[in-house]
Amino acid sequence: MRRFDPNAGSEGSVGFQIAPMIDVVFVIMLFFMVMAGAVRVEKELPSQLPGNAETSGQTDFVDEQVITIAENGEVQLNEEPMDTPASTDLPTLKATLTRLRIASDQAKSPTLVTVASEPAAKYGRTVDVLNALAVAGISNVTVAVSDED
């Protein structure tokens, strides 16, 4: 029996074998094909979260709310009647102003209110409106004065 001599020439040189390389490529391809079928597809579930939405920046909100006081004692917020002229507690106005302040705080915008009273309206009614604004926590209040000719 003859011993193998690497320096003996090219008679025994096998060269580059392509068949094992093709086998390895097919095994890798088979692995990725099998694993592709096992990937789970995520599905969207419809959901609605409760609560109030907070914004990160300032959003545009109604610039100014106008409270008008008529001669007969009727109070209107943006031309919508709030309470009866005989009511000194103004519960509807207080509740509406509180909701307005909360919405403005969530929108990160200031709550601006202008109180416009007719010249013949009683001053006590203006004080009732200012008390309702204080209970609601609104501090940016402007009192409008009408010029009499």
Determine if the pTM surpasses 0.85.
no
Contact 92, 136 (CB under 8 A): no
Rounded to whole angstroms, the Cα distance separating 59 from 127 reads: 32
Q: Hey, what are 130's tokens?
A: 């200012």
3-class state of residue 34 by DSSP = helix
**What number of H helices and E strands is found in the chain?**
3, 5
Q: Which domains does the chain have, with CATH numbers?
A: 65-144 (3.30.420.270)
Please give the pLDDT value at position 149. 47
The CA-atom distances, in angstroms, between 87 and each of 28, 78, 80, 84 are 84, 19, 16, 5
The tens place of each residue's pLDDT in the chain, 149 residues long, gives 566 666 655 556 667 888 889 999 999 999 988 888 877 777 777 777 677 666 666 555 556 888 888 888 889 888 888 888 888 888 888 888 898 888 888 888 888 888 888 888 888 888 888 898 889 888 888 888 665 54
